[in-house]
Amino acid sequence: MDRYHSVHGHDRASFDAPHTHRLPTVAASQALDELHDDSALPISTGLQSLDRLLFSPVPDQSTISRRHGGMKRGQVAEIWGPPGTGKTALAIQMAAHAMCNNGQVVWIDCFNTVNKQRIMRVVDAVKTSKRLAVKLDNFIHYSCLTLPHLMALMSRPPTMSICAGASLVVISGLSALVNSTLPKPQGGQGASKPGPGLHGSSKRLQGLQFLMNALQKVAATTNSAVVVLSQCATRMQSDQGATLAAAVNATVWEQAVSTRLVVFRDWAWRGKGVFVAAVQKLDGKANATNQAVCTFGVQPSGTINIECDATTAHPTGPANLVRPKKRKLGQTELEVPDSDDEDYGWADEDEEALPPPPPQWQGSEDILLGHGSDASDGGDGDSADSPASGNAVKAYDQDMSRDGSAASSEAGDTD
């Protein structure tokens, strides 16, 4: 392969022959020498208290050196939290320390583009404090706005960019890119399969597995620390209500992440810009205690340590979500309505003030009820057996007989 590269050169399009081994063969003596080499040391976060927490779950200041603390190489780490809590500030501080130690930094933006002037200010501050020369060529920036682009970059990284000299790889906004391209199935869509191929949760699981395997391979082959900056999401729980959780919490993701930090802001009502970083997972083991917490501040020149009294902090336990009991009707000071009162507050003057009914209302009762309704109801109207009705019948018969006799006389005259 070396002879092939000497004749044809390296393939910049990353189409060279795949490696047969995941890791190159290293002798035991060489591995022992690399333990004392500066390239194998963790990357400092710029915060002494956080470096000690990342070195050991129970730090001991007498035996732990500041130089040996920080983010470990060869692992995938995650820093998650709400917006504006210092995730990017911590990543920029780690990048500045890695560049000051002659390491290469690869920054990959998946959502928002990082401000390079901000990075240069932090690098200048670290360079001034350490009195070291920094090569700006060691900072490589990529923008992967689609998930296939990121998968291709991580699965077959170009040799000229992500090589063995890389000490830190930062991927910003990966959770937003994953959730937008492979959203979580809602309403049982993952179980339904309308056609052939992967759908719903199966497609999301396969994509996450491929991506995390690629990140682990990059971290192991380049001996670099891969740091993923993720957002947060709200999770509803019946016993504790709404809580914040990482935006991507699949099992494949949990197994691939070795170290996890959560950052948030606290004591904002006290007029202090205090940021809090807590270690949730270290070397693949979850932190059961809540003692691995440090506080820091963010300035234009980078992050600084801030000492806060833990006794003045609010309790970190879940809030008391006991719902108040309902009050009785007598305790609400509301007037109980009287159902026996039929007036309901109506006054007699209101009925007198009403206008008279229109003319078309008169006689409508007869149309609706009929003429015989008065007789059937036993009213005061005239019935069929009354004298007035009998006289009317007799007068009608006399008129009919008179008309009949006149008609017969006229017929006789014509004959």
Q: Where are the domains of the chain?
A: 44-186+197-311, 364-414
* pLDDT tier at 267, thresholds 50, 70, 90: low
Question: How high does pLDDT run on average in the chain?
Answer: 73
Can you give the pLDDT at residue 93? 94
Which has the higher per-residue pLDDT, 26 or 316?
26
b/e burial code for range 48-63 (CB count within 10 A of at least 16 → b): ebbbbbbbeeebeeee
Task: Indicate whether 413 pLDDT > 90.
Answer: no
* pLDDT tier at 398, thresholds 50, 70, 90: low
* pLDDT tier at 100, thresholds 50, 70, 90: confident
Phi first, then psi, for residue 67 (nearest 5°) are -70, -30
The predicted model gives 314-322 an average pLDDT of: 46
% of residues, the chain, pLDDT over 90: 20
* pLDDT tier at 106, thresholds 50, 70, 90: very high
Q: Is the Cα dihedral 345, 346, 349, 353 positive or negative?
A: positive
Nearest CA to 280 among 319, 317, 246, 233?
A: 246
Task: Indicate whether 380 pLDDT > 90.
Answer: no
Q: Is the Cα dihedral 119, 125, 129, 134 positive or negative?
A: positive
Q: Can you name the residues that pair with 297 across neighbouring β-strands? A: 304
Can you give the pLDDT at residue 211? 94
Q: What is the pLDDT of residues 159-183, one digit of tens each?
A: 766 766 788 999 999 998 998 888 8
Task: Indicate whether 378 pLDDT > 90.
Answer: no
Fold of 44-186+197-311: Rossmann fold (3.40.50)
The predicted model gives 70-87 an average pLDDT of: 91
What angle separates helix 147-155 from helix 174-181, to the nearest 10 degrees?
120
Q: What is the pLDDT of residues 185-242, one digit of tens each?
A: 775 544 555 556 566 778 889 999 999 999 999 998 888 999 999 998 888 877 777 8
Residue 230: its H or E element: strand 225-230
Can you give the pLDDT at residue 184? 81
* 352, 358, 359, 362 alpha-carbon torsion, rounded to 10°: -70
Only one residue has tokens 């699949």, namely 250
Least trusted range by pLDDT, from 118-132, 248-262, 374-388: 374-388
Nearest CA to 167 among 132, 147, 140, 142?
A: 140
* pLDDT tier at 95, thresholds 50, 70, 90: very high
Can you give the pLDDT at residue 239? 76
pTM as predicted: 0.65
Q: The tokens of 413 are what?
A: 């005259």
* pLDDT tier at 394, thresholds 50, 70, 90: low
Burial of 268 (0-12, 13-18, 19+ CB in 10 A): exposed
Distance, CA of 220 to CA of 293 (rounded, Å): 28
Q: What is the pLDDT of residues 13-42, one digit of tens each?
A: 555 545 544 556 667 776 666 655 556 688
Only one residue has tokens 């002037």, namely 117
Phi first, then psi, for residue 136 (nearest 5°) are -70, -15
Q: What is the pLDDT of residues 111-137, one digit of tens each?
A: 888 888 899 899 888 888 777 667 777
Can you give the pLDDT at residue 101? 84
The predicted model gives 137-166 an average pLDDT of: 84
